[in-house]
Amino acid sequence: MTAFITRCCRNSTLPADRASGWLRALLFALLLGVHTLCSAAGGVVMRDIRLDYAEEGYQLSTDIGVTLSPRLAEAVTRGVALYFVLEFEISRPRWYWLDEQVVERVQTYRLSYHALTRQYRVSKGALHQSFESLDDALHLIGRLQSWPVVDAGLLRPGGSYVASLRLRLDVTQLPKPFQLSAMSNRDWTLESEWQQWGFTAQDGAVK
């Protein structure tokens, strides 16, 4: 049989002020570690989503926080363009069969960096806008104001529907070597979970 002996020491209890300081330091280290981990991984946070009804139909507005991993951020500054896809869907639940897909809308953003001007550029179709910082460019990608997504007569008044939204990095648009890396390394992938909510047609702002 093995015995363990613990040596007893006098005044083993830390003074209150020292214990408090130690706990504060530990808490700070933990918070710093969480922040560093989140920053290193990158991510997408859905902060606010609104689907508003107007005379011409429904309009979508979003506030989405987008953070790149260090590898993605470095890839942009080295000339790799990133394509972000915002996907919006509306379906009608059916208890007797699969849900009916009513609306599918896609918005694509291209993020690039121009070394000559030292500016980040966000392109959406034929529209382009330049920014001094990466954060400002990502802020534009996450902010959407009054995007028309549904014509007024497409949804049945009083009908129940489910809206779905997500933002993702389109890894198929990356150069081939990076596509292979994305298959095994999460630093090269970026997407949100599908955000879903139910609403009644022509019910004004639903979220």
Confidence of residue 31 (pLDDT cuts 50, 70, 90): very low
- Quick: pLDDT tens for 92-136: 998 888 889 999 999 999 999 999 999 999 999 999 999 999 999
Rounded to an integer, the average pLDDT of 51-67 is 93
> If you average pLDDT over every residue of the chain, what do you get?
80
Does pTM surpass 0.85?
no
Q: Are β-strands 100-114 and 82-92 bridged in parallel, bridged antiparallel, or unpaired?
A: antiparallel
- Tell me the percentage of the chain whose pLDDT exceeds 70: 72
Q: Where is pLDDT greater, at 30 or 84?
A: 84
pLDDT for residue 42: 72
Q: Is the pLDDT of residue 54 over 60?
A: yes
Helices (H), 44-172: 70-77, 134-142
Q: Is the pLDDT of residue 151 over 80?
A: yes
Can you give the three-state secondary structure of 24-85, one letter per residue?
HHHHHHHHHHHHHHHHHHCEEEEEEEEEEEECCEEEEEEEEEEECCHHHHHHHHCCCCEEEE
* Domain residue extents for the chain: 17-200
**Rg for the chain (alpha carbons), in Å?**
24
